Structure 1
Amino acid sequence: MSHTYIRHAQALDVLVVGAGVVGTALALALGRQGFKVGLLERDHPAPFDPGAETDLRVFAINHASQRLFQSLGTWEAMVSRGVSPYEAMEVWDARSPGRIRFEAAEVGEADLGHIIENRVIQTVLWEALEGADVLRLCPASLAHLDVSGERVRASLDDGRVFEARLVVGADGARSRVRSLCGIGVDVTRYGQKAVVANVSTERPNPATAWQRFLPSGPLAFLPLADGRSSIVWSTDTESAEALLALDESSFCRELGAAFERRLGEVTATSARAAFPLAGSQAKHYVRSRIALVGDAAHTIHPLAGQGANLGLADVAELARVLAESAGRDPGDLRGLRAYERARRGENWVMMRAMEGFSGLFGSRLAPVELARGLGLNLADRLPAIKNGFLRRALEG
C-alpha cells in the first residue's frame, strides 16, 4: 500500500495505537462522539472468510460488552456473522466432589453471554469505522512519542508525523506506547501455557460452558454454533508442550479423559496452539496526554474468560469520561485520572481473584480439597449467593 507523505504534522484529537478488538472499539466510540481519531495498526485485518476454520481465539462476551457493541451499532452484524449464546455454566473439581451449575433461567435471562470469534468482532468493528470520523493508519508502526505542552507528537516508522491531544495505548501486553512513555508494569508469570483448539465430541455441546479444575490448571469447553467446543486447557508449560506434540488421536484421548467425557469421546480436533500465561498491571494507566487500555494496562489468568470483557469495560469508561470532556481537552490529566480511578482498582481485584482461584483449585492439600468441595456444593444450594455471583459475572 502506498502512502502520501507529508512534512508537517497532521492534527488529531486522539491517536489510538493498536487495532485489536479493544483499540478498534475505542476508536469507533470516540469517532462517533465527534472526536477526530487516528487508529494505528501494523497490519491490515485479514479478509473475513465465512468458510474458514473457526478462529482458535474466541471470547466469552458478557452482557456489559454486548451493550457496548449495541451502542456502537455493531451487535447485529456480529450476530449475522456467527455468535454462540450459552445458557448454562457448569464447574466441577477434579479432586473433590465439589460442583456448581449456573443457568440463565435462574436469573430471568435468555443467556449467560455469547462465545464470539476474535475475527468476527474484529471484522465488524473494522468495517464500522468507515462510517465514523476515524483515520485508519495501516499498515504502520509507532516509532517515537514526544509529549510536550498541549500535544503529543507521534512519529511513525514510515516518516509520517501526527500531533494528538491524547494518545491511547491499546497495543497489547508488550505495549510500545507504555514503553515509550516509561510506564512500568508488574508482571506475574504463572509458569503455565493455555492450549487452545476446536474439538468435536460424540454429543454436541448443549449451549453450556464447562470448566473442570484439574490440579495442573482449569480445562474449559466453550460452545460453538456448530455444536463443537472451543477448548482452553491451562497447564504447566512442560505438559502443554507435550500435549501439542501428541498426534490427533492421542490428544483426543487425553482431552476426553481430562474432561471426564462429559460429551462422550472427543472425536476430532483442529490445529492446536498454546500461549504463555501471565498476569500484569501497569503501574499507571495514565500520564499527561497518555492513557492505556486493555492488555496494555492489564492481563489476567483466562480461567474465568474475563480478559476481553475487562478491556471493553476500559473502553466504555474512557469513552464516557471523554464524552463528558466534549468541547474541552481530551488529554486533560484530571479527566484521565477519573478513568484510572474507575478501572485500575477493579482490574487489579479481578487479577488477584483469578490468581486466588487458580491457587485454591491447584492445591493438593487434603483439607483444602475438602473445603473447596464443600464450598462449591454449598454455594450451589444457596440461590442468593449463586445468583449474586452470576449477576456480577453477567454485568462485568
Structure 2
Amino acid sequence: MTQADIVIIGGGMVGATLACALAERHWRVALVEARPPQPFDPDSPWDLRVSAISRASQRIFEHLQLWPAMQAMRVSPYDRMVVWEEGAGEIRFDAADMAEPDLGHIIENRVIQRAAWQRLEQLDDVLLHCPARIATLETADEAVRVGLEGGETIEARLVVGADGARSRLRELAGIGVSRQDYGQKGIVCLVEVERGHEYTAWQRFLPSGPLALLPLADTRQCSIVWSADTPLADELMALDDAAFAERLQAAFGTRLGALRPLGRRAAFPLAGSQAQHYVQHRLALVGDAAHTIHPLAGQGVNLGLLDAADLVDRLRPGHDPGGRAALRAYERTRRSEDVLMMRAMEGFRYLFGNELAPLRLLRGAGLSLADRLPPLKQAFMRQALGLRRDLPALARVGCA
C-alpha cells in the first residue's frame, strides 16, 4: 500500500498544477492520471485545445516555476480585445489603458500540462501513477483509501478530484451534479487571416452564439471558438472546407480580410454544471470536477486554477489536510465565486442570444456606452485579468 498525505485524481492542467503547489509545500502527493501528457513538437501546428490564461493564472505558473517551461515551448500574448455585436455596438480593451504588458496569453492545453509534469518529475514529494485509473474509494475517520484498477491501493488523509466534468471520483463519492445543457456546440479550428491578427482577441456576438478568434504566435494564424446552436453547429461541421470558410467569413466579417481554415475541425457539446458539494469527509473537488461554465468568457481553466490555489492556502503545514474546517472554508469561497460567474454568463447568453428588438437595442447601446466609460472598462478588465486583492496567495504578486 502506498502512503501519501494527499492523493489527486486527474493530472491535467489543474490537477498537475495543484500537485506542484502541494509538493512545493512539502506535502507528500500521489497523482493518479489515466494518460501521460502529449509530447510537444515545436514544429507541429497549434493544437485545437487552447486556453486564454489570465494574469492571475500566469502568476500561479510563475510562482511554481512553470512559466519559463511554457515560454520555451509556445505561448501567444495578446494586448487588445475587441468585442462587437451583430448590430452597431462595440467595445475595445487595451492593455496600455491598464498599464499592463498584455491582457493574457493563449496557450495550448498540452503545453500547460507538459510544463507541470516536467516540474513534477523534479520534485521529491510526488508519486506519479500513470497510466492508472481510480476503481474504488473508502473513507474512514482518519484516512481515505483509493483503489486503482490494477489492484494497488493508496492511503492518504485527503483525496482531491481533478478528473474533469465526468469525474469518476465525484461519482464514487456519491456527489450529485446539477447540469444545464446549453443546446449548443463549440466548433474549434485554426484559421489563417489575411491581414494579421494585431495581437488582438476578437469576439463577435451572433444570434446563435459568440464567435471568437484568438491570436496565435504566428501573426497570421488564429484559433477559433464558434459557439452555435446544435443544429447549426452540426450543419457547419458537415460542410466541406470551402463551404465552411464561406460561412465563417460571413459570420465574422472582413476586419481581418480573408479567413482560410487550416486542418481539421472539431466540435464539443456545451453545458454548465456544478457539483452539489465541493467537499465532503476527506475529499475536495477542483476544476471541471466541481464546475463547468460556457466558454463565452474564456474563464474555465482560470477558475479551476484559482480553485487549486485557494485549496493550497487552506492546507496548513502541520495540520490535518483533510480537516473539516479547512475544506469548508475552501468550499464557501470557491462555490460563491463560481455561482457569480455562472450567473453572469447566463445573463450574457440571454442578452446576446435574444432577438427581441428592445434587447438588441439595449445590448448595442450598452456596448457603445461602456466603451466610453473608462472606469467601467477598467473594472471589467481587472476582474478578467485577475488583478483583485482578494485572490489566493499563489495568484498575487510576491505572495506565494
TM-score bracket, normalised by the shorter chain, equals over 0.9
Alignment match of 2:251 (pick from 258, 270, 283): 258
TM-score by length of 1: 0.96
Aligned pairs (5 A) from 1:285-364: 285-322=278-315, 325-364=316-355
**1:62 offset after TM fit, Å?**
0.5
Larger CA deviation: 296-305 vs 45-54: 45-54
Q: Does 1:381 align with 2:382?
A: no
Deviation per residue, 1:241-297 (Å, 9 max, x gap): 111111111111111111112101112322100000000111110001000000000
SS at match of 1:270: strand
2:69 alignment counterpart: 77
Deviation per residue, 1:134-154 (Å, 9 max, x gap): 111000100000011110011
2:212 alignment counterpart: 220
Query: Aligned partners of 2:167, 2:255: CA distance in 1, in Å?
Result: 40
Contact conserved, 1:146 with 1:152, CA < 8 A, in 2? yes
Contact conserved, 1:252 with 1:269, CA < 8 A, in 2? no
Contact conserved, 2:193 with 2:257, CA < 8 A, in 1? yes
SS at match of 2:4: strand
| Structure 2 alignment gaps of length 5 or more | 388-400
Percent identity of equivalent pairs: 58
Deviation per residue, 1:278-331 (Å, 9 max, x gap): 001111100010000000000000011000100000011001111xx2111000
Deviation per residue, 1:226-253 (Å, 9 max, x gap): 1200000000111111111111111111
Q: Does 1:249 align with 2:253?
A: no
Alignment match of 2:186 (pick from 178, 181, 194): 194
Query: Aligned partners of 1:37, 1:293: CA distance in 2, in Å?
Result: 16
Contact conserved, 2:42 with 2:74, CA < 8 A, in 1? no
Contact conserved, 1:253 with 1:265, CA < 8 A, in 2? no
Query: Aligned partners of 1:268, 1:218: CA distance in 2, in Å?
Result: 18
| Structure 1 alignment gaps of length 5 or more | 1-8
AA aligned to 1:25 is: T
Q: Does 1:276 align with 2:269?
A: yes
**1:33 offset after TM fit, Å?**
0.6
Alignment match of 1:162 (pick from 154, 163, 172): 154
Alignment match of 1:392 (pick from 380, 383, 394): 383
SS at match of 1:268: strand
Number of residues of Structure 1 aligned to a counterpart in Structure 2? 385
TM-score by length of 2: 0.95
Deviation per residue, 1:7-31 (Å, 9 max, x gap): xx22110000001100000011101
Contact conserved, 2:189 with 2:261, CA < 8 A, in 1? no
Query: Aligned partners of 1:225, 1:48: CA distance in 2, in Å?
Result: 16
2:8 alignment counterpart: 16
Deviation per residue, 1:68-109 (Å, 9 max, x gap): 000100111111111111000000001x21110000001111
1:5 alignment counterpart: none
Alignment match of 1:124 (pick from 115, 123, 129): 115
Aligned pairs (5 A) from 1:29-178: 29-94=21-86, 96-132=87-123, 133-178=125-170
Deviation per residue, 1:340-387 (Å, 9 max, x gap): 111001011101111110111011000110011111111000111111
Deviation per residue, 1:120-145 (Å, 9 max, x gap): 11111111101211111000100000
Query: Aligned partners of 1:85, 1:314: CA distance in 2, in Å?
Result: 24
- CA RMSD across the alignment: 0.9
4+ long deviations beyond 4 Å = none
SS at match of 2:217: coil
Contact conserved, 2:54 with 2:386, CA < 8 A, in 1? yes
